[in-house]
Amino acid sequence: MNAQTLCCVPLEQRSPLARALPIAAVIAFGISVLPLLSWYARRVSDGSDEPLGVIALVVALFMLATSTRYGKRDRIGIFPGRLLVSAALLSFIQFGGVLHYPLLIGLLAIAAIAFSVKMPRGKAGTIALLVLSLPLVASLDFYAGYPLRLIAAEITTFLLKLGGIPVEKSGVMLIDGDRLVGIDPPCAGIRMLWTSSFVAAVLAARMRLSWLRTLALLAVALACVIVGNGVRAAIVFFPESGRVEWPDWAHPGAGLLVHGAVLLAVFGFAGRLNEAGNRWSLKPWWQGPRNIAKVSVGILLVGAGLFLTSLVRHRPAPGSAATWPTMLDGVSLLPQPLSPMEQSFARSFPGEIAKFRWGDAEVIMRRSHQATRMMHPSSDCLRAAGYETHSEAVFRDADGQLWGASLALRDGKRWLVHERYVSENGDACTDASAWYWQAMLHPDAGPWTATTVIRPSTRSSDFSR
Give the per-residue pLDDT at 18: 62
Could you give the domains of the chain?
Answer: 3-135+283-311 (no CATH), 138-275 (no CATH), 327-456 (3.40.1000)
Give the per-residue pLDDT at 167: 86
Q: Is the dihedral of CA 40, 415, 404, 222 positive or negative?
A: positive
Give the per-residue pLDDT at 275: 66
Give the per-residue pLDDT at 61: 86
Q: From the first residue on, what is the mean pLDDT of each consecutive set of 10 residues in the chain (465 residues)?
A: 45 58 83 85 74 87 70 66 85 74 86 82 86 88 87 91 85 79 81 92 88 92 94 88 79 86 90 64 46 53 50 43 78 86 78 89 89 81 78 80 86 88 86 86 84 77 45
Give the per-residue pLDDT at 74: 57
